[in-house]
Amino acid sequence: MIDRATIDKIIEAANIVDVVSDFITLKRAGANLKGLCPFHDDRTPSFMVSPAKNICHCFACGEGGSPLNFIMKHEQLSYPDALRYLAKKYGIPIQEKEQTEEQKKVQTDRDSMFIVNEWANNWFQKQLYETDEGVAIGLAYFRSRGFRDDILKKFQVGYCPDNRENPMGKTAIAEGYQEKYLINVPDEKDTRQSIGTGLCLKNEETGQLRDRFRNRVIWPIFSQSGRVAGFGGRVLDKATKGVNVKYLNSPESLVYSKRNELFGFFQAKQAISKKDRCYLVEGYTDVMAMHQNGVENVVASSGTALTPGQISIIRRLTNNITVIYDGDSAGIKASERGIDLILAAGMNVKLLLLPEGEDPDSFGRKHSASEFQQYIEEHQIDFLHFKSKLLADEAKNDPQAESKMVNSIVRSIANIPDEITRALYIRQAAKSTLLEEKLIQDAVTKQVRANLEEQARERERERRRAAGEAMPEGEAPAEQPAAIQHAIAPDSGTRIQDRRKEGLLIQMIIRNGERRVFCIKDEEDNEQVYSVTEFIYYNLQQDEITLSEPLYMKIMEEAMERINEEKFQAAAYFMNHPDAQIAHIAYVMCTDHEQLSKYHGESGTSADTDTMLAEQVQYLLSDLKLSIIRQEIKELVAQTKNPEILKDKERYRALLNEFKEKKEVERMLAKMCGDRVLG
């Protein structure tokens, strides 16, 4: 783990021109430099590098950021690995925190398992290419599927014979590898912490080892950084008689977790980033077939239902995913949960159904590369059209089936986190189902509420599990009502507006958070100097205002934690943040000059006076509060129309008094914002 002081030293040393110039040719363009963007098919230079701001930005595809962001994106490295890359480039020694004995042991086990997997991968390939059995059976299988040698080499496929006299495990031990890393000893609490690759099975009675993948062709499954994490094996067609499991994967361990791995991701990551889309298919050969047909931005979930962990991996590179189904796939309906998970992650999902009886492998063998690519491009449709068509074909004027169809669509729409996108899909759903938009809206709102309740219950279950407590049957977590009401305001339009105003305040923190521009006298008449971050934080805290966007809250709270650190600069800190979402938000907010322009021109930049900056912050705070108070007034008015409340004179009178108080606050805030109050 790299310590904070070293991270700061690396970030301070990294020069955007130096870093980008290692990969693309830059030419001077006024105060900046420009070149062809490495993240999309750029034919005219649209990638700008600003030495003054130490950031880069593509005006065509929108990619960019700090030197650290650039390296993470271009080289597909994790945050720590990108730091190590830059440290090596600038000759900065890495000062990692001392590991505990337990951490050292785990690290040693992990490294040993990766080494054993790497050895096994080479051994499998030698069996495929250098033995008579491998060539006659394994290589013949791949060639019968039409795969070229360059594709076989690209995916490093192999073969494991059923050799009882000289099995792989025996060879490994003879070459000095330890048995404990060849077998797999499950961890009782979490199989993902199990020790051993599981390449071999051990007979407890005789103590003999047997190769797990015997008589199978092999696909290595690479980690995101290119290390062999595990393997997938397929029994060959002639040997499937009497075999229950045609495909077999490595067991869960310290280095391999099926739910967090995607086959082909290592080979696809640069293409996914450049094309800004990921294709998801079912099997290993489907991925290889698409590569052979010129489509490289493709991964497979390795035969498992799509998981949040796999979606998270894809989302680091793109927000666009297309799920490709076999023409006669029986798993289309079962995949609904996967589609909903993609939508819940805020991604744009499209679906494609191949002709009946085809999968990407078979379809690719019957068509040229250009025909294959053209079909994929022309037949993608969004989830709503796909689901409507699929379910409508089954409904056939059956009211119960149609109801089931609509409910399925509603469940999917309810998973979309962005209110505007959700509203657009509600409108489309109303048109496609010929139902009233309000009916769909109400159903979606009800489903959103149910989703939030379930999420709250799950958080409570996790908390109780961590604390060793039992979850009483039927008990709802205490946070449930607040969470639901916070997420579903009566007027979603106002919520969207508030979130935008919250964003402007966070933009001020990121751009100017460390600047101390507020002088305020305390109770003893002593002047106290506050930074922009502190002023915003304390002001919101005083009025008990919590930002509705969790990432905004995280940014503000983290800025408060760091604000008194020497040399703290909010923009540099957040643009180089380990959380990719926060780093992206900071990058966008540092390069977006339009958001704040409607308030006070460009008064958020460093060249402006402290006075103007302080005025702008106060204006933004008042504007947000005004929006909130108006929403509260609207809710009070709605309550006064409730027949039950009208009957209760005391309660009605209390509401009127509260209404008058809030109207007075509204007038005060409106005056500060230069707004008018009607009524």
pLDDT at 14: 92
The alpha-carbon radius of gyration of the chain (Å, integer) is 29
The domain 265-379 having CATH identifier 3.40.50.620: the answer here is: no
* Phi, psi angle pair for 403, to nearest 5°: -60, -40
What pLDDT score does 265 carry?
A: 92
d(CA 572, CA 11): 8
pLDDT score of 237:
62
pLDDT along the chain (679 residues), means of 10: 83 91 86 87 84 87 89 82 89 74 75 94 96 94 94 97 88 94 88 91 89 95 88 77 72 90 91 88 93 95 81 84 77 73 90 86 90 91 81 69 84 88 90 87 90 78 65 44 29 56 92 88 75 91 84 91 87 89 87 48 49 88 88 84 81 84 85 63
Helix ranges, 14-96 (H): 16-21, 67-75, 79-89
- Other residues' Cβ atoms within 10 Å of the Cβ of residue 436: 10
N-to-C CA span, the chain: 60
CB-based contact 460:477 (threshold 8 Å)? yes
The C-alpha atoms of residue 581 and residue 575 are separated, in whole angstroms, by 10
For residue 338, list its beta bridge partners.
Answer: none
| 235 Ramachandran zone, left/alpha/beta (phi>0; psi -120 to 50) | beta
Per CATH, domain 101-256 is 3.90.25.10: no
- At residue 458, the pLDDT reads 76
- Residue 463 has a pLDDT of 66
> Contact at 8 Å (CB) between 155 and 203?
no
pTM value is 0.61
- Look at residues 571, 630, 620, 629 and name the one whose alpha carbon lies nearest to residue 598: 620
CA distance 481 to 31: 54
* Domain spanning 4-89: CATH superfamily: Zinc finger, CHC2-typedomain (3.90.580.10)
Cα 158 from Cα 124, distance rounded (Å): 5
User: Cα separations (Å) of 299 from 288, 305, 312, 383?
Assistant: 9, 13, 13, 19
Q: Look-up: residue for tokens 């310290």? A: 254
